[in-house]
Structure 1
Amino acid sequence: MRKLLYLLVLSSTVLSAPLSAETLFLDVFLNGVKVKELVQFEYEQTHFWSDENVLLTTSLSDYAAALSGRIDYCALNLIQCEYDVSTQRLYLTAELALFPAQRIVGFSKSGLQPTKSFGALLNYDTYFRNFSGGVQTLDLLQQWRGFGNFGMIETTANYSKYFSSESQSSTNQGLVRYDSFWQYNDEAHMRFLRIGDMVSGSSSWARQVRMAGVKLSRRFELDPQFVRYPYPEFVGSAVLPSDVEIFINSARLFAGQVAPGPFILDSEPSITGLATATIITTDITGQAVSREVEFYIAPDLLRKGVFDYDVNLGVLRQNFGIRSFDYASDPLGIADLRYGISDAVTLGMHAEVGADIYNLGGGTDFNFANVGVISLAAAYGKNEQIGGWLGLFGYRFQTRSWGVAFKYKQQQQTYQDIGTTQWVPQNKREIQVNAAYSFNNGVSMGAGYFVLEPFDGQKRQLLSVFYSQSFEVASLSASLNWDAELSATSFGLNLSFPLGSRYRANTNTQRDTTGKVNSLVAINQARVGNQGGRWAANAVIGTGDYSVSGGWRGSAAEYSGGFYDRGDSKGYFAQASGAVVWAENTLLLGNRIADAFAIVSTGGLANVPVVVENQLVGESDRNGLFLVTGLASYNPVNISINTKVLPLDTNVVDDRVTIMAAAGHGAKVNFELYQTYAALVIVQDKNGRPIPVGSIATINNENTPFFVGWDGELYLERLQSTNTVILKNGKLTCVISFNFAAKPNDIPVLGPFVCDAKEK
């Protein structure tokens, strides 16, 4: 009986063995990515139990937060599991719906902050002209600017003088002021405040006027990395870790890696109009999936939620360029507002309010289904007596190779705005139609039709057709114009081709509406690089008409001049332009500064080449300074120096700097250069053997350490006429002394010196 009982117990144990839990230590992978090593599981049939929540540290952390206690990883919702016995791995594959979308930025933003320096500058442009008949004119255009953390103060004026043996009118002679203002740019909020002279903002249907007062305006240029217009976000998904490539019109925009799950690529395509994106996803198994997306980029739209505004309060400017201080007395206000209510629709509003006049208008630009941009606008303007309407319709469509545009604007004669108070002529109807096509072989063709119908005056209709072709080194262009009202045709033909490596010739033939044909032949030599000379000469075939001009641009100014003879008019001219800058307690001369600049310091060393974006722009002067002009504000610029021409005994701490200057300001770039006064010193012990490699040396009680190399060679800098060197190696110390005489562009070898090491 007892034997039967033992047999039953043994049979029960054997039969139940396959059903009992087994302890395993496995590596866990989630959608092909290892998430943890050697996790303890209890394995029972197709179930893998664990007390450890391995998903908490993955991208499924939100999903894992709802799991608690002992987790069966092969019974989770939306997750499949597979056990690999040979590698002792548990593979978990989650459905894409569980993964959060990952945003990938396809472009890097600069962390540079705009530099706002303190100083002042003067841009000048002097122009002298001598006419036939003994009349000479002299003009001196001046632009004064002060800048700092307070913003920018600027005024522009022109001084004119007439010289003649005959009695001449004094009109426009003397000094005439143009614009004066104070402006503060708020880069953080992309806006600026101006007090002084200004030009009002405009919309597609409203006119601009000159004013004086206060302006508060959005200025997206203060942050060039901000994209104001809508652009596509490329969306995809990957079950496994994958490589993603995105091509726009066959040009690669992005290449990188993505983790499992959906992804969104945030990258601005540098194109305009209709385009096709190809998204290729290749997972770790080599399987590739490709899909295409069509989209339309319209820079004249605003992204959803983006505001654009321009508010002006003040009085009208009158007789600009003739009188320095001529302003109306009645106050007025002009405001423009645009807002992107969606990526496809942008709304705009324009308002003008004066003493006896007001004007209100609204419009929209929208793009649906990638068919182009449609513009609609309407405005009503009224003064004390009359009022009228204006309407506008526009359409624009562009692809990589062709585009079309249409604009129709019509208004009533009674329509009023601020411009009508300045006696600016109005048009009853304006029509503009354009079309162009570019072939892959460098050929471009286009046509335009224009209608201008004023209330008072002759209606004009013009049809224009153009053709251009670029060859390897030459270009050909032709145009044909037909004036419907005059029933007249004119055409032009231009050919440009090189003559060697530095010269270029042009031939231009034109026929005007009267039937007169002129053929012009010209040859010119362009400036090579940022500085140097240039010249040009041209003549009209069959006549004695000709002109010759030339110029030289140096580091401090640009000079030009020439003479001409056109039959009934002949003479000569001379011009000089440049800038005087005071900044960083430094006074420098340079070429005209339209926007930003940089003062480069080369540590007092002269004739050091200065390079901007890999282009040589000049050399430092005898004080080791150079003024870099022509910089674009709020754009990172790489400025470097060419160290290959420096003497051997020159130490260069850095040779490349990236800067970003604010509008109207300058940046100081300091390159740390100094003469090393160096020598290679040979040090031996009393037995003639080299001092051990790695021995530490200090010179003239300085803290900077130097190290002995092979064969007892010790490279030392900042030597003086008399030098004392202390060498240490462990507990051993020795001292040597020697004299040094510096020689230009030379690093001498001194010694050998005997260093009798003693233990301390």
Structure 2
Amino acid sequence: MAAPNSTPRQSFSSFLEVWYVQTVRAQMVASCSGHRFPTTSSVPSHGPEARGPFRRPTLYRFTAVGLLPALSLLFFCPFSVYAYDTLIPAIYLNEEQKGEFFVLMDKTGDLLIKVEDLKEMGLPSISGRILEVEGAAYLSLSSVGRGLEYAFDADRQTLKIQVPPEWLARKVWDFSTPAPSQVQRPKDTGLFFNYGLQYNGKQGLALESFGLNGQLGVRIGNLLFLSEGVILVEEKGTTGRRLLTNAVYDHRERKECWVLGDTYASSGDLGSSFYLGGLGVWKNYKADPRFPRRPLFEYQGYVTTPSEVSVYVNGVRIGSEKLSPGGFDIRNLLPQTGLQEVEIVIKDVFGREQRLSQPLYVSDAQLGKGLHDYAYFLGFRREQMGTTADRYGDLGFLGYHRYGLTSFLTLGWHGEFGKGIYNLGGDAVLSSPVGALSLSFSGSRKDGGRTASAYSLKYSFQGGSFNAALGYSRFEAAYSTLAPRCPLSQSAENTDRWSFFSGLGWHAPRFGSLSFYYYKAAEGADQNEGWQATYTRNIGQRFNLMLVYAQRPGKEKEQSSNQPEFYIHLTYYPWKETMMANLGRFGDTYQGSFQVQKTPPPGEGFGYRASVDVHTNTGKTVTTVNPYGQYKGRYGIYTAQASSEYDGTALATHYYFSASGAFVYAGGAFGLTRPVDDAFAIVQVGEIPGVRVYHNNQEIGRTDRSGKLIIPNFLSYDTNQVRIEDKDIPLNFSLKEVTRLVSPGYRSGTLIRFDSQKVQAFTGFLKILHRGKTLPVEYHRVHWKGNGRSRTFQTGRDGEFFLEEVEPGDYQGFFTWRGRKYVFDLSIPHQDDLIIEGGEILIPAE
């Protein structure tokens, strides 16, 4: 430990002089916590360089002004005051200036600093000898021992302290995305009923089929009830079919969903996937889109001097922070998927630079450390849903559970049981800088038979401009799941099967993208093999070119060899339209097509598609023309489509027409709109018509004559921005806000009110009829009340008055004139004028 610079013992007169100067200073800044003095107003306590109000007192000033405080100190202060010299140095902690603090120096040269001041500097806890001086705890710097070094410069009045960075307070640098302020999570009671009509016609618009479908959804709090069905009219008869019916409890805080009724269930790649009727629960990370589900990058480090720390991901700086000496924690940095190069650059006050690099691979299949992902289902399998043979089968259970053991290893299990089938297995996902490896394995037994197994191994890599994937899976013949598998052919039933795939991709900005994919599957003696090479490139800003060459199995059963395919696909984006031309060959068949389309806007508007396709088939040239049009109106979506095919001898035409819409209710408001596929919102802008409404900066439409507009495509769980165009608000209306942020629950309805207040003024002349004469009530204070409000106004010359922000209605006013109180009634009519002229208001004196 470096010893402090030695200073001679002060004389008694010098001590009194210092005491006087410091006492006056302390009184001027008595409101400063801890008696700390900012470095910008640093003044030496004594010395020839002192200036300003704290300059060194002359002898006559000392004797005239300072004698009384000095005598008071001599006779009334305890002797312990004389044991320390009081200093006010500028303190530097690990080369960072912390400000000026009171420091005591004893006769041995040891320095004492208040414990509270050390905490304020960033030393939360430090071991050493603690002394109590005038009721305050001081730490002796010389008693700290190894690890702390300090040096006091009496001439410059500076104290430099150096400690290990581990002793200093830690700084937390959080990269998590904070939720936008004032985001509302409404829980309005909502209801929607989607309906649709479909007409399929053949030649001459003759009826082929007519369909009517409906979907009812009711949400109360966190509970959602859904049911849907369809009625189909065909030549053979009319049938009605129920589709899905369920009740869902959406627990957003726990990110969990419970369902009772029909739902889709799955146990993973080696298991079953089907609809069942029963009970289910699953982890729902979609409930909070900002929650980091994948592994996070975290780092802990130290800086010994004031430094600037910058974080780079793949060479792009994503943040910089100026840090004080001590430890720092980088938390909640969520990289993109694939190989990411995270680099931390530390630059200290001396210009020295340190670079720390760490590769990190992130896969969507991974879970963050300590996170769970699960789904469990118990119920009866729904078989042939949507057909006349729809029924519930046997009872079964299936599910999976995965857990993020570390930031690079995720483990789990999966299984399903029912109708004599037992299937259980495990999963693992391991990531490293060279990619992600996924392993899944299962064992099964059916009706007490022998145990059969299945396994799957997958590898993926994505980094920079290169990506690769490999996969292999194998199933034994006796391997069983609740849902029967579909074999390649009937002859391949009850045989082992395996499949393999591989893929490579490369991208360069000037060259474009090149990819290659190969697959092969075998089941018994049946095999399926093929490959495809694809090249894509943007040409300028409006063209996209794609070339495809592939070898695939023949379409006909007798074609065992692979058939070559070659396609040239050109896309042009002139403006809002898209034009696509396609030319290709499959075996001996040639095909060409041209298509023009315009996508409908998010709100109200028109979209269309028109295509012409020409191909050869068994020696004939077949031409197909397919026009399509769609209009998205305020109350529904209307579609018309025709398809005409001509093979040189006959013309076949089919027609399709549809109309769909929805009835919605939320928070006491209701209306008609386009179909609701997710959540919806009813926007109410007072009773002002013609106001443009935007959803996530996309214009949806204008409010109707009642000031209402319905947004049918709200996004569940996401933050939806709803904004109204303030330029459409009349001048005589005022709004408190024009933008709202709303995060609705799953398929919920929300009422969003933009309360408007009509801003009108009322003016007139207040006069009184006194003894047959009309006299103005000039310069009087008048009180009036009505519509739940009480106000006052002042009359002017000739009794004129002007009232702002008034509402139509009946009011009562009173005033005192010539010592007498007068009461009168005031009626403000309903008018659209900005200023309502009241004319002369005459009050009888009697």
Q: TM-score, normalised by structure 2?
A: 0.76
- Picking from 788, 806, 819, the partner of 1:718 is 806
Alignment of 1:185 onto 2:247: no
Alignment of 1:228-627 (within 5 A): 228-283=293-348, 289-323=354-388, 325-328=390-393, 330-368=394-432, 370-384=433-447, 385-420=449-484, 428-441=497-510, 443-455=512-524, 458-470=526-538, 471-483=540-552, 485-499=560-574, 501-512=575-586, 514-541=587-614, 544-567=623-646, 569-627=652-710
Instruction: Provide the C-alpha distance between the structure 2 equivalents of 1:354 and 1:209, rounded to a whole number of angstroms.
Output: 14
Corresponding residue SS for 1:535: strand
Alignment of 1:107 onto 2:176: yes
Higher mean C-alpha displacement, 110-119 vs 661-670: 110-119
* Count of residue pairs brought into register by the alignment: 714
Letter matched to residue 578 of structure 1: G
Alignment of 1:14-53 (within 5 A): 22-31=85-94, 37-42=100-105, 47-50=110-113, 53=116
- Picking from 176, 189, 194, the partner of 1:123 is 194
Match of 1:654 in 2: 737
Corresponding residue SS for 2:89: strand
Match of 1:8 in 2: none
RMSD of aligned Cα (Å): 3.8
Instruction: Provide the C-alpha distance between the structure 1 equivalents of 2:463 and 2:454, rounded to a whole number of angstroms.
Output: 31
Alignment of 1:621-636 (within 5 A): 621-636=704-719
User: Structure 1: which 5+ runs fail to align?
Assistant: 1-10, 684-689, 729-733, 754-760
In the alignment, is the contact (CA less than 8 A) between 2:128 and 2:141 conserved in 1?
A: no
| 1:281/1:132 CA distance change after superposition, 3 Å | same
Instruction: Provide the C-alpha distance between the structure 2 equivalents of 1:609 and 1:677, rounded to a whole number of angstroms.
Output: 23
Identical residues among aligned pairs (%)? 19
Match of 1:209 in 2: 274
Higher mean C-alpha displacement, 460-469 vs 230-239: 230-239
Cα offset for 1:739? 8.9
In the alignment, is the contact (CA less than 8 A) between 1:648 and 1:745 conserved in 2?
A: no
Cα offset for 1:201? 2.4
Instruction: Provide the C-alpha distance between the structure 2 equivalents of 1:669 and 1:12, rounded to a whole number of angstroms.
Output: 76
Cα offset for 1:749? 9.9
Letter matched to residue 185 of structure 2: P
Instruction: Provide the C-alpha distance between the structure 1 equivalents of 2:160 and 2:801, rounded to a whole number of angstroms.
Output: 60
Letter matched to residue 396 of structure 1: S
Match of 1:731 in 2: none
Instruction: Provide the C-alpha distance between the structure 2 equivalents of 1:128 and 1:12, rounded to a whole number of angstroms.
Output: 107
Alignment of 1:667 onto 2:667: no
Cα offset for 1:45? 7.5
Letter matched to residue 629 of structure 2: G
Instruction: Provide the C-alpha distance between the structure 2 equivalents of 1:220 and 1:359, rounded to a whole number of angstroms.
Output: 27
Match of 1:4 in 2: none
Match of 1:62 in 2: 125
Instruction: Provide the C-alpha distance between the structure 1 equivalents of 2:130 and 2:388, rounded to a whole number of angstroms.
Output: 80
Letter matched to residue 624 of structure 2: D
Superposed CA offset, 1:46-76 (max 9, x none): 6423465522345432336985555333663
Letter matched to residue 728 of structure 2: V
| 1:251/1:558 CA distance change after superposition, 3 Å | farther
Superposed CA offset, 1:703-730 (max 9, x none): 468999xxx99771115589899999xx
Instruction: Provide the C-alpha distance between the structure 1 equivalents of 2:812 and 2:307, rounded to a whole number of angstroms.
Output: 63
| 1:452/1:88 CA distance change after superposition, 3 Å | same
Match of 1:93 in 2: 162
Letter matched to residue 670 of structure 2: L
Alignment of 1:160 onto 2:160: no
Cα offset for 1:267? 3.3
Instruction: Provide the C-alpha distance between the structure 1 equivalents of 2:9 and 2:805, rounded to a whole number of angstroms.
Output: 89
Letter matched to residue 229 of structure 1: R
Instruction: Provide the C-alpha distance between the structure 1 equivalents of 2:754 and 2:318, rounded to a whole number of angstroms.
Output: 36
In the alignment, is the contact (CA less than 8 A) between 2:222 and 2:251 conserved in 1?
A: no
Cα offset for 1:291? 3.4
| 1:751/1:12 CA distance change after superposition, 3 Å | closer
Cα offset for 1:699? 6.1
In the alignment, is the contact (CA less than 8 A) between 1:253 and 1:269 conserved in 2?
A: no
Superposed CA offset, 1:722-754 (max 9, x none): 9899999xxxxx99999977764745899999x
Cα offset for 1:244? 3.5
Letter matched to residue 247 of structure 2: W
Cα offset for 1:642? 0.7
Corresponding residue SS for 2:727: helix
Instruction: Provide the C-alpha distance between the structure 2 equivalents of 1:295 and 1:664, rounded to a whole number of angstroms.
Output: 37
Higher mean C-alpha displacement, 246-255 vs 393-402: 246-255
Corresponding residue SS for 1:662: coil
Instruction: Provide the C-alpha distance between the structure 1 equivalents of 2:785 and 2:157, rounded to a whole number of angstroms.
Output: 66
| 1:529/1:350 CA distance change after superposition, 3 Å | closer
Letter matched to residue 443 of structure 2: Y
Superposed CA offset, 1:57-100 (max 9, x none): 45432336985555333663423334355663433333212135
Instruction: Provide the C-alpha distance between the structure 2 equivalents of 1:48 and 1:447, rounded to a whole number of angstroms.
Output: 74
Letter matched to residue 126 of structure 2: Y
Match of 1:132 in 2: 203
Corresponding residue SS for 1:188: coil
In the alignment, is the contact (CA less than 8 A) between 2:785 and 2:791 conserved in 1?
A: no
| 1:707/1:404 CA distance change after superposition, 3 Å | farther
Superposed CA offset, 1:309-336 (max 9, x none): 21111222212221475112x4221121
Cα offset for 1:565? 0.7
Cα offset for 1:285? 6.7
| 1:586/1:629 CA distance change after superposition, 3 Å | same
In the alignment, is the contact (CA less than 8 A) between 1:438 and 1:444 conserved in 2?
A: yes
Instruction: Provide the C-alpha distance between the structure 2 equivalents of 1:706 and 1:492, rounded to a whole number of angstroms.
Output: 82
Letter matched to residue 546 of structure 1: V
Letter matched to residue 445 of structure 1: L
Cα offset for 1:413? 0.9
Cα offset for 1:663? 0.4
Cα offset for 1:463? 0.2
Higher mean C-alpha displacement, 31-40 vs 529-538: 31-40
In the alignment, is the contact (CA less than 8 A) between 2:294 and 2:334 conserved in 1?
A: no
| 1:39/1:681 CA distance change after superposition, 3 Å | farther
Match of 1:142 in 2: 214
